[in-house]
Structure 1
Amino acid sequence: MTTHKKPLAVVAVGGNALIRDEQHLSIPHQYEAVIESAHNIAEMIEAGWNVVLTHGNGPQVGFILRRSEIAAQEVAPVPLDYAVGDTQGAIGYMFQKALSNELHKRGIDRRVVAIVTQTLVSADDQAFSHPTKPVGAFFDEATAKKRQKELGWTLMEDAGRGWRRTVPSPEPLEIVERDVIASLLDQGCVVIACGGGGIPVIRSERGLAGVEAVIDKDLASALLAQQLEADLLLIPTGVEQVAVNFGTPEQRWLDTLSVAEAKKLIEQGQFGAGSMQPKVEAILRFVTHTGPNGRAGEGLITSPAAIRRALERKTGTWITP
């Protein structure tokens, strides 16, 4: 794998980070949020980091699927792997434009490139037998059962808010375009890749084939960071630091976590299975992986606005090998 003169960070921005609230769902509103993220990422680049930006796409894929459902009588529906590709292009374009503008404003001469990225999964992954990842719109029970019968969907009742389609979420095994991403980094580019965890593909007799699934963005980002031998996996979130006993009088913010400490806190259920825990688990995968160079990278969780100070070790939660 290539070497990087500057330290390399993979920064995994969530798809929900582009949507402030129910009143700010439009593309222009999402672009405003992208501009804010681009400012924070440009600060990293200005401070001397090489950056690969990855991003989530959960809400955006949901919007595409909903439009597809509404227009089903007029145009053919959009398969899920194509919806992931669509969001990679659209969100990648927003970040490419916003980051290019921000870097130009700072007098930094760096090209920003968004690359449509495929992520290899196994056709034998058990997730295909147990679709558990909710996507798309909410339905009442009668509509959900109708879709199940007509389209063969699997569905689940989601926290009292209605019924949603569920799809498999298989383990990411390989970032197909990783060598291209590494080459672009060597050319001095800022790279946007692995949107939505990457488009899920399997290898068949005919080559690569897309599958109806979604891949966890943080796990795919951890894999990409491993394969690029990155120095840092940074996952921005809603709080400056990770906490134990969150929301109680015993709440305590964490400056650093060792692998052993993080695993123990996960076993205790300290991080919340649907919130902070997946982020910590993804970082653990990265920091416990030793590359061919014999060293492992570090992980950092902090809020977008605190990234600059966190990189100076003034805030954030650092997870170390």
Structure 2
Amino acid sequence: MKLVVALGGNALLRRNQAPSASNQLVNVQLAAAQLARVAAAHSMVLTHGNGPQVGLLALQAAAYTAVESYPLDVLGAESEGMLGYLLEQALANLLPPGRPVVSLLSRVEVDLQDPAFLRPTKPIGPVYPKAEAETLAAARGWTIGQDGAGWRRLVPSPRPLRVPGLPAIAWLLEHGALVIAAGGGGIPVAARPDGHGLQGVEAVIDKDRCSGLIATELKADCLVIATDVDAVYLDWGLPSQRALGSTTPQALEALAFAAGTMGPKVEAACRYVQATGGRAAIGALGQIEALLAGTAGTQITRDKT
């Protein structure tokens, strides 16, 4: 099968875990052990989140006041390169020597008129207690929002429209490579005002939306969104919460999910299924083989099975 697997940023840096290089390396190696078994049997594009990492880079950049802080597109490229390298090395160490593993920096085009620029929803950086988050927001001009039990910085997350490097990804897949691409949703770029070429944009693209776009354009057989929960839940956090097993885009579109977390995952999965007739699965990375087999997580198809 041809797969697109979207790996959540929190799989690479656990919630409330110190963002050290050693912690991230351990998490990458654990993730790679799960992914390598699947990659050995299938053609795969691997995408990944970068919310914790790009937020940390932004804090580090802000701490050095001799120069202006780097914009989010540059920080996104830095985090994509860092995590791509770690994943590439870990996977290459586990796969047969003849299997190429390639990590690509991926530009992703967005529209500067996207209303997301007026309504930041993408959480990045560390999780703070509410009072600390409010103090930082007032001092640094942040928009903040609740993420689980804590609060995080929110930034614009425009919809991905096009991946300029998609032909290169397709070529590498055809030649047997495992391709790591569009890390952190890719590097956000938009058309320049003069209409000639592209320029960087201050935003962080949602990696699940970008993964769904890539899966659709590549006509992948399955889109797997591997996250830190085992399924899509109704009434999350309430005594009545319950997991969804097999469902359809039509059923999911009638429900409401959090904009900065599960909402984009569900939206990306539904768009891909509707566009291609393929199957999408949302669940825990540790169950990825069962997700592919259709026996775990939330399975989304055009017709409920």
TM-score (norm 2): 0.87
| Structure with larger Rg | 1
Q: Among residues 145, 156, 159, which one is paired with 2:143 in the alignment?
A: 156
Alpha-carbon separation, structure 2, partners of 1:178 and 1:130: 28
Alpha-carbon separation, structure 1, partners of 2:150 and 2:89: 36
Matched residue SS, 1:175: coil
Matched residue SS, 2:56: helix
Alpha-carbon separation, structure 1, partners of 2:233 and 2:113: 37
> What letter matches 1:59 in structure 2?
P
* Contact 2:231–2:284 under 8 Å retained in 1: yes
Match of 1:57 in 2: 50
After TM superposition, the structure 1 = structure 2 runs for residues 128-139 of structure 1, keeping only pairs within 5 Å, are 128-136=117-125
Alpha-carbon separation, structure 2, partners of 1:245 and 1:145: 32
Matched residue SS, 2:275: coil
> What letter matches 1:308 in structure 2?
E
* Contact 1:300–1:316 under 8 Å retained in 2: yes
Alpha-carbon separation, structure 2, partners of 1:163 and 1:14: 16
TM-superposed deviation, 1:222: 0.5
Q: Among residues 189, 198, 202, which one is paired with 2:190 in the alignment?
A: 202
TM-superposed deviation, 1:274: 4.1
> What letter matches 1:231 in structure 2?
D
Moved more, 64-73 or 89-98: 64-73
> What letter matches 2:76 in structure 1?
V
Q: Among residues 72, 76, 100, which one is paired with 2:92 in the alignment?
A: 100
Is 1:32 equivalent to 2:26 in the alignment?
A: yes
CA separation of 1:144/1:242 partners in 2, compared to 1, >3 Å: closer, same or farther?
closer
Alpha-carbon separation, structure 2, partners of 1:231 and 1:32: 30
> What letter matches 1:281 in structure 2?
E
CA separation of 1:121/1:248 partners in 2, compared to 1, >3 Å: closer, same or farther?
closer
* Contact 1:81–1:200 under 8 Å retained in 2: yes
Alpha-carbon separation, structure 1, partners of 2:244 and 2:151: 36
TM-superposed deviation, 1:276: 2.6
* Contact 1:24–1:30 under 8 Å retained in 2: no
Q: 4+ residue runs of structure 1 moved beyond 6 angstroms?
A: 137-140, 160-163
CA separation of 1:251/1:162 partners in 2, compared to 1, >3 Å: closer, same or farther?
closer
Alpha-carbon separation, structure 2, partners of 1:147 and 1:273: 23
* Contact 2:137–2:144 under 8 Å retained in 1: no
* Contact 2:106–2:181 under 8 Å retained in 1: yes
Is 1:319 equivalent to 2:300 in the alignment?
A: yes
> What letter matches 2:262 in structure 1?
M
Q: How many residues end up aligned between the 2 structures?
A: 294
CA separation of 1:258/1:144 partners in 2, compared to 1, >3 Å: closer, same or farther?
closer
Alpha-carbon separation, structure 2, partners of 1:274 and 1:122: 19
CA separation of 1:227/1:146 partners in 2, compared to 1, >3 Å: closer, same or farther?
same
Alpha-carbon separation, structure 1, partners of 2:259 and 2:156: 18
Alpha-carbon separation, structure 1, partners of 2:294 and 2:151: 43
TM-score (norm 1): 0.83
**Deviations 1:168-216 (Å, cap 9, x if unpaired)?**
2211100110001000101100000001111111122331111111111
Is 1:80 equivalent to 2:66 in the alignment?
A: no
Match of 1:151 in 2: none
CA separation of 1:256/1:131 partners in 2, compared to 1, >3 Å: closer, same or farther?
closer
CA separation of 1:253/1:183 partners in 2, compared to 1, >3 Å: closer, same or farther?
same
Match of 2:169 in 1: 181
Q: Which runs of 5+ in 2 are unaligned?
A: none
CA separation of 1:21/1:307 partners in 2, compared to 1, >3 Å: closer, same or farther?
same
Is 1:280 equivalent to 2:280 in the alignment?
A: no
CA separation of 1:216/1:162 partners in 2, compared to 1, >3 Å: closer, same or farther?
closer
Matched residue SS, 2:289: helix
Alpha-carbon separation, structure 1, partners of 2:125 and 2:238: 34
Alpha-carbon separation, structure 1, partners of 2:65 and 2:70: 9
Alpha-carbon separation, structure 2, partners of 1:193 and 1:132: 23
Query: Percentage identity across aligned positions?
Result: 41
RMSD over aligned Cα, in angstroms?
2.4
* Contact 1:196–1:216 under 8 Å retained in 2: yes
TM-superposed deviation, 1:126: 2.2
> What letter matches 1:278 in structure 2?
P
Q: Which runs of 5+ in 1 are unaligned?
A: 1-6, 149-154, 291-295
TM-superposed deviation, 1:112: 0.4
Q: Among residues 1, 19, 34, which one is paired with 2:13 in the alignment?
A: 19
Alpha-carbon separation, structure 1, partners of 2:133 and 2:271: 38
TM-superposed deviation, 1:59: 0.7
Is 1:258 equivalent to 2:242 in the alignment?
A: no
Matched residue SS, 1:288: helix
TM-superposed deviation, 1:240: 2.7
Matched residue SS, 1:176: coil
Alpha-carbon separation, structure 2, partners of 1:218 and 1:123: 20
